[in-house]
Structure 1
Amino acid sequence: MTRTNDDTWDLATSVGVTATMVAAARAVATNDDQLDDQFAEPLVRAVGVDFLTRWATGDLNVDDFEVAGAGWGLSQMPAAMAARTRYFDAFFSEAAEAGVRQAVILASGLDARAYRLDWPAGTTVFEIDQPEVIEFKTTTLEGLGATPKATVRTVAIDLREDWRTALLAAGFDPSKPSAWIAEGLFGYLPPEAQDRLLDTVTALSAPGSRLGSEAVPNIGSVDFDAAREKMREASDKWREHGLDVDFSELGYQGERHEVGEYLDARGWQSVGTPMNDLLAANGFAPVPQVEDNQPTMGGVIYYTSKR
């Protein structure tokens, strides 16, 4: 189903499935000793999407679902998500070492950092996501007996709505430094919504604040029709095995600002790390090259921005 400006989802439908898929990739990486996220597999099991549960538990042969000529795939995701997770874990650790005691996870999905990272005393972690997503994760983790290692304040709201007011109502203090992450988010926002979100983060960030983000590069030269066809081909294969989501309809096309440049023009200082550099730094193979004008995971850039 094509995205609309007022669509909603849970963790088994639409954009929510991507959060569950990422958690499944973290579970695979954890089972392969590439990561330590003990909550990933039980959370995926609780969502109940059979295809993703079988992948998370090693009961799925991912080679059956690869698409020739695509710059992404299930086989590449565990290493990519392990490297990405380590990056944002380190981001929060470095912010904590610098004295930051407010953390904000934008589109928190099945992120369990509030429960698995060692936060300094006095830290508050704000988690923002769709109401259904927030309720499911909170209830499931409680059922697992998980105890957060920081004060957790959930903000159940769509990021396309007035989340600024909701965050302030939850106790966020814009006069104090904060550490934000936008992990796996921007591609699911229209370009103008990406700008609005970055403007809001900037307005709420006191000096000393930090933002870690995963940036979709400006891919105006991409052959979108060919890219969508590759994604549809993959979606068709996954659908045959029970995952009924058309991933080609979930993202937004169009020219978008480069995140680092956009933030730097608004008082931040950004350092970017391409995905393949991040993979290499973590001992993983690079994302394979594909035909021209096709997007790949290797083109993603990770930014740490400071005010």
Structure 2
Amino acid sequence: MDASPLNGVGGTSLGVARARAWESRRPDRLFDDPYAAAFVAAGGSGGRAPLSPARARLAFHVIIRTRFYDDFLLAACDSGCRQVVLLAAGLDTRAYRLPWPPTVTLYELDLPEVLAFKDRVLTGAGTEPRCARTALPVDLRDDWPRRLTDAGFDVSAPTAWLVEGLLVYLSPEDADRVLSRVGALSAPGSRISFEHNNAASVIAEEDRGGIEEYAELWQGGLGDTAGRLDGDGWQTEVHELADVAASYGRPAPSSSLSGFLTATR
């Protein structure tokens, strides 16, 4: 396929797709993303040198978080959410691979070049989403709430929000603004999940060999995200990566200190 490689923050989505493609080839896989390998091939990222320790830790994190967020979103829909919003959707294919309940509408927000690349690959694969899907090309530092409501988002309905792999690439001010906007759009019964203790805080600078293309883009995000949400009317819960991984039968590397946060309005 003739598709331009993604660069900058958008290019990190190819690294995520690579990890998902690896996992999908395992006989004991935690999920199956049948489109991840196509993204990697189209992005010109098929070959890689052996994993550095830091890259292996990040890949492990991506694999565990993919399954964790799959489970989170389906559980949120079981609880009554019929709107799902993926902020910084990247090359996520949950609209195409998860068994969504009837009447679910899924909104994907990301940079225009990321969504255009994604749609070219998926169109070439001849696949169709398994729920109503609306893709909105936006910069999440701009006025994305207006774009979302203009596209049909109902602020009075409970929503499942996923902020996957985004906050670390934002400044503290921009990360706080994203969460404030999510709060303003979230009716009672809404749920949200994102990373707790992101990679920038758990992988020391001297241990980042092999992941420089990611680390140079990290801007820190927020520190006490649980406290930030608690103060905005959410009830939060932290899920440590090691505990989540163990529940899936995958022992976590001892140096993996990250995890996930879920919250309910």
Task: Give the TM-score of the pair, scaled to structure 1.
Answer: 0.79
- Give the aligned partner of residue 228 of structure 1: 205
Q: Which residue of 2 aligns with 1:208?
A: 189
1:46 aligns to 2:4 (yes or no): no
CA apart distance, 1:219? 7.6
Q: How does 1:11-160 map to 2 (within 5 A)?
A: 12-33=6-27, 34=29, 35-49=31-45, 53-55=46-48, 60-62=49-51, 66=52, 72-74=54-56, 76-160=57-141
Residue segments in structure 1 that go unaligned for 5+ positions in a row? 1-9, 236-244, 290-297
1:104-123: CA deviation from partner (whole Å, max 9, x where unpaired): 00100000000001111111
Provide the C-alpha distance between the structure 1 equivalents of 2:199 and 2:91, rounded to a whole number of angstroms. Answer: 27
Q: Distance in 2 between matches of 1:218 and 1:152?
A: 30
Deviation at 1:284, TM superposition (A): 1.2
Residue 30 of structure 1: how far off its partner (Å): 0.8
In structure 2, what is the Cα distance between the partners aligned to 1:218 and 1:118?
A: 30
Write the distance in 2 (CA, Å) between the matches of 1:32 and 1:218: 25
Deviation at 1:143, TM superposition (A): 1.2
CA apart distance, 1:184: 0.9
The offset of 1:11, in angstroms, is 5.5
Look up the SS of the partner of 1:137 in the other structure.
Answer: helix
Residue in structure 1 matched with residue 215 of structure 2 by the alignment: 248
CA distance in 1, matches of 2:14, 2:200: 26
Paired AA for residue 205 in structure 2: R
Q: Deviations over 1:29-65 (max 9, x none)?
A: 111132311111111111223xxx125xxxx533xxx
Q: Which amino acid aligns with 2:236?
A: S
CA distance in 2, matches of 1:218, 1:136: 26
- Structure 1 pair 218–128 and aligned structure 2 pair: CA distance change class (3 A): closer
- The total of aligned residue pairs comes to 260
Return the alpha-carbon distance in structure 2 between the equivalents of residues 128 and 217 of structure 1.
21
Opposite residue 242 of structure 2, the aligned amino acid is: N
* Residue in structure 2 matched with residue 272 of structure 1 by the alignment: 238
Superposition deviation, residue 77 in structure 1: 4.1
Question: Which residue matches 1:299?
Answer: 257
Q: Is the 8 A contact 1:109 1:129 kept in 2?
A: yes
Which runs of 5 or more structure 2 residues have no equivalent in the other structure?
Answer: none
User: Are the aligned partners of 1:80 and 1:279 in contact in 2 as well (CA < 8 Å)?
Assistant: no
SS in 1 for 2:154: coil
Equivalent pair of 1:186/1:216 in contact (CA under 8 Å): no
Segment of structure 1 superposing worse, 211-220 or 108-117: 211-220
TM-score, normalised by the number of residues in structure 2: 0.91
Output the CA distance in 2 between the equivalents of 1:306 and 1:182: 14
3-state SS, counterpart of residue 47 of structure 2: helix
2:196–2:238 Cα contact (<8 Å) kept? no
SS of the residue 1:152 aligns to: strand
**CA-CA distance at 1:247 after TM superposition:** 3.0
> Radius of gyration: which is bigger?
1
Between the aligned residues of both structures, percent identity stands at 38
Q: Cα–Cα, structure 1 residues 247 and 98, in superposed 2: closer, same or farther, change >3 Å?
A: closer
Whole-Å Cα distance in 2 between the matches of residues 147 and 303 of structure 1?
Answer: 31
1:140-177: CA deviation from partner (whole Å, max 9, x where unpaired): 10110110001111110010111111111111111111
Partner of 1:261: 227
In 2, the alpha carbon distance for the partners of 1:202 and 1:123 equals 21
RMSD over equivalenced CA pairs, Å: 2.2
